[in-house]
Amino acid sequence: MQPGLHPLHEVSALELMLQWDPTHPLVEELAHLSVSATPAEGLRLPPGADQATINDAAQRACLRCRRERLAAFSAAEREAWTVLERSYQLLFAGR
């Protein structure tokens, strides 16, 4: 998958979640990531966060996504967790 096209997957996952449950916390998380200007902002870290801190937070976020995906209630939620995991992987890679 081309990293440059990933924002389209984020929008698609957001649309799916809005159709399934517009009040689900994943809606806010997907929306936040899609407008974040920096990896630190996307991970809700301070603006001056160093790369090691960003990498650590992104790795923890990926693990959380994998864990939550196992307990997802719908295909929309599973897809959202999968897309979020890829988003955090790209933050780790320095998108």
What is each CA distance from 87 to 25, 32, 48, 62, in whole angstroms? 16, 11, 20, 9
Q: What digits encode the pLDDT tens for the residues 48-76?
A: 999 999 999 999 999 999 999 999 999 99
Which value, in Å, is the radius of gyration of the alpha carbons in the chain? 13
Structure tokens at 44: 């809700």
Q: What digits encode the pLDDT tens for the residues 13-53?
A: 999 999 999 999 999 999 999 899 999 999 999 999 999 99
In a 13 Å sphere around the CA of 42, the CA atoms on its Cβ side amount to 27
